[in-house]
Amino acid sequence: MNDDEKYIKGYNHGYKLNRDMPQIMSKINFSGKQNTPYEEGFKDGKVRFEKEQEMGRPFSLADAKDKYLGEKKMPDRDMDKDR
């Protein structure tokens, strides 16, 4: 099995494990300075699943305000006022 195949296998395992058994996924820790292609793929699969979950969240105006304005308040506007 070459490095690309190992990476793909790790990616698929990381994605599926994070999707199906997140309680186990949170306990897995790859410690070591040099990661194998499988470990890199595993981590990338986990990250990809998390990004997809985040993208699937329903959009809310409160989230957008917090993200882009932080503590700033939106200016008061009179929407019924003629220009």
Q: From 42, 9, 38, select the one nearest 28 (Cα to Cα).
A: 42
- Residue 81 inside a domain? The answer is no
* 16-67 pLDDT per residue, tens: 999 899 888 888 887 777 788 999 999 999 989 888 888 776 666 766 666 6
Q: Are 15 and 47 in contact (CB under 8 A)?
A: no
- State the total domains in the chain: 1
Q: Which helix (H) or strand (E) holds 55?
A: helix 37-55
Global pTM value: 0.62
Q: Is residue 43 part of a domain?
A: yes
> Does 50 map to a domain?
yes
Identify the domain containing residue 16 by its residue range. Answer: 3-28+35-69
In a domain? residue 15? yes
Sequence length of the chain is 83
In a domain, 45, yes or no: yes
Tokens of 64: 């957008």
Pick the residue with more confidence: 72 or 23? 23
- Report pLDDT digits (tens) over 24-37: 888 888 777 778 89
Within-domain flag for 82: no
Tokens 């300075």, residue located: 33
d(CA 44, CA 78): 47
76 within some domain: no
Q: Choose among 26, 1, 32: nearest CA to 14.
A: 26
